[in-house]
Structure 1
């Protein structure tokens, strides 16, 4: 059953400030009232099918919270989200447990936060989460509740990425235990759907292993 709710964590990706346009597709698929910035053609297609979703946008970065608040007047926007409080914030904001689409992209606690909110009783139909591309399958890498960079990571050629998020194998295994199927990988973004959604809408899509997706 469609609830009409989209949750986007990491919704302010800098495009509005840098380019004066929206490039976060999760935002573009919302029916936003009187936007102050131009959308891509995804927005036009969404309007054409008269999509009616309620958006909940969150940003750990307070600067981006201010930008989103100034841009989207009629959308629920919040800050200070992390793995320890994500489920509590969603409950406080009245977000239903059967979220249609959850996107989490903060370059830090993505994996922990997604798993924590599912364990708290929320069951998004679709989940888009970022993983750490530097750890190939079958490595199960995760630094629990990382806030981002670690001191030792700054000494590597990949200081921005090394300590963030989790590996694809870790995320895929943990989501599988919770009843999700890995449907697609696009660069470092993994798209999961519930087993029921897969059987209903995507059963003709082949299921590939983690290594195949990582190499793809």
Structure 2
């Protein structure tokens, strides 16, 4: 009898363990489905039925292997159909995590109820001490479920934190770009205003601000002009330089020699009336020392006897003597290729604040005239361009202004055949009044000059045939062709090629 009781107790214990294992298998199946639904984040509810298991699995009758298998089969079938998902719109990540937690809690409650039902049924047929020794699979499953959800929520929080960081970075970049663009716009707007809006423009001689008069004896070389007619109220270089107040003043004078030893040169007052810190490089191919005798003899004034040609001026002068890219005054007086030499200097990056040069007044605005430089025959012209009987000695005022305007220089003054240009940005800062255009400056500074009536015999200043030709062809479409028929009579001839000097003339 004792042996039969022990055998029966062992059978019941084995049946109880098998029942626990089967329940754990089914629960693991359900947990897998829950994880699958959680990964897609599209389920509204995992369960619709009141329980995950059939109530008829455990009955009061003794358990048998066949009933256990049938119950196990029904549960597996019901495991695939005991819950169904509902299609819904995607939720936010934070809402998905909260929904998953509620579903897990609901599922665990159902699992605990099922565990209690199993334990109650087992207690009716097994002693309590055997049931207490049986592991609680519900708690193991619950811990796995919570660990999975916690890991998922941590991943979601990491993604959200990364997204927020990226958003902040994009916002900072946008703010930085906007700020830089705004500052650049203000700078460009201010620069355009300062460059293109002069302080004061005069249109007529009456609007021109009257300046103190002085005697410009350099213009006395034009002809029999009385001394009292040499007075001028034009800007002088020294007046403009004193307004600039440069820290390291320096000038380059190309064509510095003169019969008066340089006393009447436009740069002479700057080297004598301003402090001795004003340095200079004086250039002229004529080695006669009497032509430079008036210039001060000091260490920061250097005299050199070099020829000036378009293709060599930068290398032989500016680089050879280590001239700074930025300096105060550039004066050019070579009576030939002023435009070509200026273009070479400016294209090399040198930027004087003031440019003083001469122009050919025989060709009034808006006529563009300039002799074309040819390095192969530069010393081979008869007569030479600087000869007194040739109207080819330099470029017209309009040609000169057009060239210098491309380098941001603006016309300030015309004083007979002399002309001064200044960097455009300095016009505003110095408060200088400027003429409205080349024509106004030409009419006042050249045609209105008091010496012109005495110098009409000078072909470098006046040519009646050229003047009449310009007047008759200025409004015609064949202006260039018409003027060439006149100018070819004055063009120098090459001794080598017997060809005429090339030139450009247009309007």
As a proportion of its length, which structure holds more helix?
Answer: 2
RMSD: 2.8
| CA displacement at 1:161 relative to structure 2 | 4.3
2:365 to 130, 134, 137: 137
Counterpart CA distance in 1 for 2:327 and 2:380 is 30
Deviation at 1:170, TM superposition (A): 0.3
| Preserved contact between residue 100 and residue 124 of structure 1 (Cα < 8 Å) | yes
Q: Secondary structure at the match of 2:414?
A: strand
Q: Structure 1 unaligned segments of length 5 or more: list them.
A: 31-42
Q: For the residues of structure 2 that align with 1:81 and 1:153, how far apart are their CA atoms?
A: 15
Question: C-alpha distance in 1, partners of 2:366/2:256?
Answer: 30
Q: CA deviation at 1:207?
A: 3.1
2:422 equivalent in structure 1: 193
The equivalent of 1:182 in structure 2 is: 411
Equivalences for residues 6-21 of structure 1 within 5 A: 6-16=251-261
Measure, in 2, the Cα distance between the counterparts of 1:177 and 1:64: 37
Matches within 5 A, 1:77-116: 77-78=303-304, 79-88=306-315, 89-116=317-344
Instruction: Calculate the TM-score normalised by the size of structure 1.
Output: 0.77
Separation in 2, partners of 1:122, 1:193? 14
Query: Distance in 2 between the 1:23 and 1:153 partners?
Result: 25
Contact 2:260 2:294 in 1 (8 A): no
Give the superposition deviation at 1:135.
0.4
Deviation at 1:187, TM superposition (A): 0.6
SS of equivalent residue, structure 1 residue 106: coil
Count residues in correspondence. Answer: 191
Q: Does 1:68 align with 2:292?
A: yes
Give the SS at the match of 1:7: strand
Conserved in 2, the CA contact under 8 Å of 1:15 and 1:23?
Answer: yes
User: Alignment partner of 2:287: what SS?
Assistant: helix
Structure 1 distance, partners of 2:294, 2:369, is 38
Give the drift of 1:168.
Answer: 0.1
Alpha-carbon distance change, 149 to 173 in structure 1, aligned in 2, over 3 angstroms = farther
Instruction: Quote how far apart the aligned CAs of 1:8 are.
Output: 0.6
How far 1:144 moved relative to its partner?
A: 2.4
Unaligned runs of 5+ in 2: 1-245, 445-507
Q: Does 1:22 align with 2:267?
A: no
Task: Pick the structure with greater CA Rg.
Answer: 2
User: So what's the TM-score if we normalise by structure 2?
Assistant: 0.35
2:10 match: none
CA contact (8 A) 1:148 1:164 kept: no
Cα pair 1:5 1:99 within 8 Å, conserved: yes
Shift of 1:160: 3.4
Corresponding residue for 2:232? none
Distance 1:206 1:28 in 2: 23
Task: Tell me the residue number matched to 2:249.
Answer: 4
Would you tell me which structure has more strand in proportion to its own residues? Answer: 1
Residue 280 of structure 2 aligns with which residue?
A: 55
CA shift for structure 1 position 114: 1.5
**Distance in 2 between residues matched to 1:29 and 1:149, nearest whole Å:** 37
Do the aligned partners of 2:309 and 2:341 also contact (CA within 8 Å) in 1?
Answer: yes
